[in-house]
Chains A and B, each alone.
Chain A
Amino acid sequence: VTTTRETTQPPAFALARSTLGFLIAGLGLIACAVVALVVDREVDRQMAGALALQRIHIERVAAIENAARNTYVLMLERWLRPLSEWRTRERAIEQAVADIRRKTAEFSAEEALSSSEAEARNRLVVSIALWSNRVQQAVVASDGPSATGEVRVLIDEVQGSAEDVAAIDSVAGTSTDKRVEELHSRQTLAQSALVAAAVVVLGLAARWWRDRARVQRRLRASEQARKEAQSAERLRMQFFANTSHELRTPLVAIRGFSALIDDAANGIPKVHDAAIEIDREAADLLGQIDNILQAAKIGHGGVEVTLSDVDLEQIVRRCVLRCTALIGAKPVELAVELDGSVPRVRSDAVKLTHVFSNLLVNAIKFTPSGRVTVRIPKPHDEQVVVEVSDTGIGMPADALERIWNPFEQADMTVQKRFGGTGLGLSIVRAFLDKMGGQVTVQSVEGQGTTFAVTLPVAASEGVGAEAGEAVNGA
């Protein structure tokens, strides 16, 4: 599965996806860290508030405790001790005082031991109420003199202090311990989220690193494959160049010797005809080799056009001169008809030479006798048309579409009778498509065929000939 995904997914996409995931995770981590930091600071702030409140409570409780002790000491010193002299209630009063003392001592001890401020406070409130009741009962029961009213006031103060404690408690809403505990749990939650986010980010970072390494491996492999393909392409192009050179060279020599034979014929018809025929065959073979190599290039997508402003008339005349040899001994007239001056066109000179050579080769091949004409009418709408027409065998209407396909000719009998590879017109169309030109055909069986090539007129019409153009042989 991994292999399939690697082959179908472009490396850049995988790396981008991985990087995006990592970035998102990184942003998430930063967000978690910020939230955790904020929560932590808030917890600290609230914790400080809670602790301050707790301190206040403790101070208040301590104050109440002091007040209660002072009250009992006062009661003992000022009223309860004289009252105790009353023998009838002495035991009860002493017992109450002893209880108060014991409770006070207990309270102090319990509070010192208690970890919970709220529990201590509650115990204090209960204890104060209890003590108050007992002292009140003792005082009332003792039936003391005028001191009773003053004792009641003191008892009320003690009870008021207890109510203060309860009020503070209700204002706080909840115990500081509970609040601190809640804040602690919140802080722990934020820290856990931070750790979880860090784990996720680390996981994603590991994945990102793995993807990056994988993408780098694929890019290296891709680069290696590209270099190998370039090397293979260079070798292939070199093979084309060498092959075409090696195939053409002996044929060029044959044509050279046929020219010498023709020169030496000196009016002897048989020798002259033989020399012309040798030349024609060699020229035809050269054209076919050229077409096979061009078709191979087209098949490999190796056709590149270099557009420039080219001299159309020069190219046409050169093609006519090149193809004259193909007429051989046939009674065929090859003519060029121009309607005024021919404008320069925007095209590739070399490819255009291939185009017109192929059209002329076909016209001459399929014209046993008669006339082959290259006609260039006046340009119209910034376009120039070159018509290559012949008075040859023509083609049936149903063949006019097929002829553009590689290896196709009008019919098999034509191939047997006239030979050829059937590549010429497919090359013509392929080259014109690349150069922004068009080609159309009209044909009447038994009367002849006309190919019309349409080319765009050069924008810089009138500029001088370029140094790189082929020499005009005409």
Chain B
Amino acid sequence: VARFVTELKQSGNGREPYHQGLARGARAQKGPMALPNSVTKTVVLVDDNEQILTTTTAYLEARGISVISSRSALGVSALVMRHHPSVIVLDVMMPALDGQALAGLLRNKNGARGTHIIFYSAMEEEQLDRIVRETPFASYVPKADGLPALYSAIQARL
């Protein structure tokens, strides 16, 4: 996937730094210097599917959104506390800790209590609708709606 993204970048004229978002996200997880969300419009994106994580990150980065991505729900609380994102985008069906449980944990963190959460999942809408009703400050975008729908939802919250 990384090679595909690199080749894509090389085939284009470099207008959109697709892979930089990934790289920056990875660095941001380790580095201590994170900018406040009011300046960078940061989004934390959590999804266990590598392809979806890659394409979504690249798509959003190409549109000027800083993405902190993670393939696991574990450690996301620390990421959120460190980067203070404007929006948190969570997949629901993930191993170890699912998106709804993670949202519950985040709601108990002082720094993330009011941060809007968008559940971005391939689950059935009925289930997403139920989860959103049980989670304060949350909405959902079905993955079937596509990346433009996710981008619009994030834009509406920035």
Q: Do A and B bind each other?
A: yes
Contact A353 B125 (CB under 8 A): yes
Contact B12 A264 (CB under 8 A): yes
Stretch at the interface among A116-124, A225-233, A248-256: A248-256
In the complex, whether B38 has a CB less than 8 A from a CB of chain A is no
Contact A321 B148 (CB under 8 A): yes
Tell me the interface secondary structure of chain B in the complex.
Answer: helix
Q: Decide: A468 near B55, CB < 8 A? Known: A293-B124, A353-B125.
A: no
Contact B52 A253 (CB under 8 A): yes
Stretch at the interface among A239-247, A392-400, A442-450: A239-247
Q: Decide: A240 near B124, CB < 8 A? Known: A253-B49, A321-B148.
A: yes
In the complex, whether A200 has a CB less than 8 A from a CB of chain B is no
CB < 8 Å: which of B5, B137, B138, B140 contacts A260?
B5
In the complex, whether B81 has a CB less than 8 A from a CB of chain A is no
CB < 8 Å: which of B12, B56, B123 contacts A266?
B12
B133 neighbours in A (Cβ, 8 Å): 467-468
Max chain B C-beta neighbours (<10 A), residue from A245, A261, A290: A245
CB < 8 Å: which of B16, B127, B143 contacts A248?
B143
Q: Decide: A253 near B51, CB < 8 A? Known: A244-B122, A353-B125, A471-B141.
A: yes
In the complex, whether B35 has a CB less than 8 A from a CB of chain A is no
Tell me the residues in window 451-474 of chain A with beta carbons closer than 8 Å to chain B beta carbons.
467-474
Question: Scoring A residues 266 to 290 as 1 if CB is less than 8 Å from chain B, else 0, what string do you get?
Answer: 1000000000000100010011001
* A266 to chain B: closest residue by CB: B12
Contact A244 B123 (CB under 8 A): yes
* B4 to chain A: closest residue by CB: A257
* B91 to chain A: closest residue by CB: A249
Q: Give B132 Cβ to nearest chain A Cβ, in Å.
A: 5
Q: Decide: A470 near B127, CB < 8 A? Known: A259-B147, A264-B12.
A: no
Other A-B pairs beyond A248-B143, A264-B8, 10, CB < 8 Å: A241-B124, A244-B124, A252-B122, A256-B56, A257-B4, A259-B146, A259-B147, A321-B152, A468-B133, A474-B152
A residues engaging B (CB < 8 A)?
240-241, 244-245, 248-253, 255-257, 259-261, 263-264, 266, 279, 283, 286-287, 290, 293, 306, 318, 321-322, 324-325, 349-350, 353-354, 467-474
Task: List 13 interface pairs A-B (beta carbons < 8 Å), by A numbering.
Answer: A245-B123, A252-B52, A256-B147, A259-B55, A259-B59, A259-B146, A259-B148, A260-B55, A321-B148, A321-B152, A353-B125, A470-B129, A473-B145
B residues engaging A (CB < 8 A)?
4-5, 8-9, 11-13, 15-16, 18, 49, 51-52, 54-56, 58-59, 62, 93, 118, 121-129, 132-133, 136-150, 152-153, 156
